[in-house]
């Protein structure tokens, strides 16, 4: 299997496979490729034979009429059908798996911007163009864009996901071979598109843990710089949750939202993450990252049942990382999480009286 894999991978000029997902996707790729090639060559060979065998031998000869037997019809229609359904039977579960991040995955916020990639770990460091992940652990990417559509592409992981402005998309991977792999943008985004390069550094898990620990200590002290002042240029360093609290306070979210479970002008943020939300009209959905971000960018697209559509849009006011940071605040507000950070009074208190 390994030898066949290496032969076909080289034959197709595919990069190394740095995850189990990449290997499995390649197997499907080979299967489609080999069967398609067999079909193509068989057709070509048959056509070549027929050209000689059934060529017109005299001026008056007419093309013979062929009356296919039912069994031929069944085989010619049935065989490709079975083959195509087999592609689907292999590919669909793969797709579902790609779309379902496992519990406990490490979250990384990814922001595409002409022409660079920015990464942020909740409670950890930020970085530009270089993303470090531990080998053998699932990592969930939450992607967005600051300007136009970009696409986050790591060929070694066979991982490609669009990053859209004003919205979050997600996908996950589990890289299992330590190494350095190129990151590309796979959606033409302007002049610098081809230089929108990054690097994925897959580190042995223990090394990554040590690195992360060191980064936390290096960045956290800068986050504790007291109460925010409106218009403050919020620093990108420090814990995302701390940042998010400051941004939410500056943007006035707490005029309408509480974090202690009481309903105000808007619904409380306590236990909002992954809550089943009932919308005006009876539709329900789960409050995931994508929904929370949409609620900030297009608040009137989905109105929570029992509330008025008074929330202003924050499109253009909140950048991708700002929205991500606030999302992390909401995610941290859980009554059932014993590890939730202690609430910090002054910043949380809703500002009463507009």
Q: Binding residues for ligand HEC, per CB under 6 A?
A: 248, 251-253, 255-257, 265-267, 272, 277, 287, 292, 295-296, 299, 303-304, 307-311, 314, 326
Q: Which is nearer to ligand HEC, 124 or 267 (CB)?
A: 267
156 binds Cu ion (CB under 5 A): no
**36 contacts: CB under 8 Å, gap ≥ 6:** none
CA angle at 85 for the pair 79 and 86, rounded to the nearest 5°: 90
Give yes or no for a contact between 224 and 235, defined as CB atoms under 8 angstroms apart: no
Say which entry of ligand HEC, Cu ion, none residue 189 contacts (CB below 5 to 8 A, set by partner kind): Cu ion
Smallest separation (angstroms) from ligand HEC to the CB of 180:
37
CA distances in angstroms from 319 to 6, 111, 314, listed in the order given? 44, 10, 9
Say which entry of ligand HEC, Cu ion, none residue 216 contacts (CB below 5 to 8 A, set by partner kind): none
Smallest separation (angstroms) from ligand HEC to the CB of 262:
13
Say which entry of Cu ion, ligand HEC, none residue 333 contacts (CB below 5 to 8 A, set by partner kind): none
Say which entry of Cu ion, ligand HEC, none residue 150 contacts (CB below 5 to 8 A, set by partner kind): Cu ion
Q: Which is nearer to ligand HEC, 22 or 311 (CB)?
A: 311
Q: Which is nearer to ligand HEC, 152 or 291 (CB)?
A: 291
Give yes or no for a contact between 186 and 160, defined as CB atoms under 8 angstroms apart: yes
Smallest separation (angstroms) from ligand HEC to the CB of 333:
11
Strand order from edge to edge, sheet including 179-185:
130-134, 198-203, 179-185, 150-154, 159-163
118 binds Cu ion (CB under 5 A): no
The pattern of x and - marking residues 193 through 222 that bind Cu ion according to CB under 5 A reads ---x--------------------------
For residue 127, the number of C-alpha atoms closer than 13 Å in the C-beta half-sphere is: 16
Beta bridge partners of 13: none
Say which entry of Cu ion, ligand HEC, none residue 154 contacts (CB below 5 to 8 A, set by partner kind): none
**219 contacts: CB under 8 Å, gap ≥ 6:** 124, 125, 237, 238, 239
CB atoms within 10 A of CB 24: 16
Say which entry of ligand HEC, Cu ion, none residue 253 contacts (CB below 5 to 8 A, set by partner kind): ligand HEC
**56 contacts: CB under 8 Å, gap ≥ 6:** none
> Taking Cα atoms as reference points, which of 99, 198, 190 lies closest to residue 149?
190
Binder of Cu ion out of 157, 185, 287, 296 (CB under 5 A): 185
**182 contacts: CB under 8 Å, gap ≥ 6:** 154, 155, 156, 197, 198, 199, 200
Say which entry of Cu ion, ligand HEC, none residue 120 contacts (CB below 5 to 8 A, set by partner kind): none
- Among the residue ranges 25-33, 60-68, 149-157, 346-354, the one whose residues contact Cu ion (CB under 5 A): 149-157
Smallest separation (angstroms) from Cu ion to the CB of 115:
6
| Sign of the alpha-carbon dihedral angle for 210, 161, 322, 236 | positive
150 binds Cu ion (CB under 5 A): yes
**Number of residues binding to Cu ion, judged by CB under 5 A:** 4
Smallest separation (angstroms) from ligand HEC to the CB of 167:
14
Smallest separation (angstroms) from ligand HEC to the CB of 254:
8
CA distances in angstroms from 228 to 18, 249, 343, listed in the order given? 43, 7, 16
Binder of Cu ion out of 22, 189, 247, 333 (CB under 5 A): 189
Smallest separation (angstroms) from ligand HEC to the CB of 274:
11
Smallest separation (angstroms) from ligand HEC to the CB of 172:
23
CB atoms within 10 A of CB 328: 26
Smallest separation (angstroms) from Cu ion to the CB of 193:
5
Applying CB under 5 A, the residues found at the interface with Cu ion are: 150, 185, 189, 196
């Amino acid at each position: 299997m390994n030898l066949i894999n290496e032969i076909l991978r080289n034959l197709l000029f595919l990069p190394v496979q740095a995850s189990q997902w990449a290997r499995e996707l390649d197997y499907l790729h080979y299967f489609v490729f080999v069967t398609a090639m067999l079909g193509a060559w068989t057709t070509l060979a048959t056509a070549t034979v027929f050209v000689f065998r059934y060529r017109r031998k005299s001026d008056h000869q007419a093309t013979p009429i062929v009356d296919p037997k039912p069994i031929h019809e069944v085989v010619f229609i049935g065989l490709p059908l079975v083959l195509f359904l087999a592609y689907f039977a292999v590919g669909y579960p793969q797709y579902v798996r790609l779309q379902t991040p496992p519990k406990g995955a490490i979250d990384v916020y990814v922001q595409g911007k002409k022409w660079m990639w920015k990464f942020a770990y909740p409670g950890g460091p930020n970085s530009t163009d270089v993303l470090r992940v531990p080998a053998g652990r699932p990592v969930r990417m939450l992607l967005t864009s600051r300007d136009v559509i970009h696409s986050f592409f790591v060929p070694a992981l066979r991982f490609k996901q669009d990053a859209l402005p004003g919205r979050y998309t997600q996908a996950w991977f589990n890289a299992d071979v330590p190494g350095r792999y190129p990151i590309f943008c796979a959606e033409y985004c302007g002049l610098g598109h081809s230089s929108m390069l990054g690097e994925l550094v897959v580190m042995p898990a223990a090394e990554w843990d040590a690195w992360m620990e060191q980064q936390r200590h290096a960045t956290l002290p800068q986050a504790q710089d007291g109460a925010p002042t409106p218009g403050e240029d919020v620093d990108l360093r420090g814990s995302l949750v701390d940042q998010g609290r400051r941004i939410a306070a500056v943007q006035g979210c707490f005029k309408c939202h509480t974090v202690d479970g009481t309903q105000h002008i808007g619904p409380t943020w306590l236990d909002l993450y992954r809550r089943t939300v009932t919308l005006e009209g009876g539709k329900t959905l789960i409050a995931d990252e994508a929904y929370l971000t949409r609620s900030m960018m297009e608040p009137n697209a989905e109105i929570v049942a029992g509330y008025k559509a008074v929330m202003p849009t924050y499109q253009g006011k909140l950048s991708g990382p700002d929205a991500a940071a606030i999302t992390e605040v909401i995610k941290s507000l859980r009554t059932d999480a014993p590890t939730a950070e202690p609430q910090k009074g002054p910043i949380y208190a809703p500002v009463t009286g507009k």
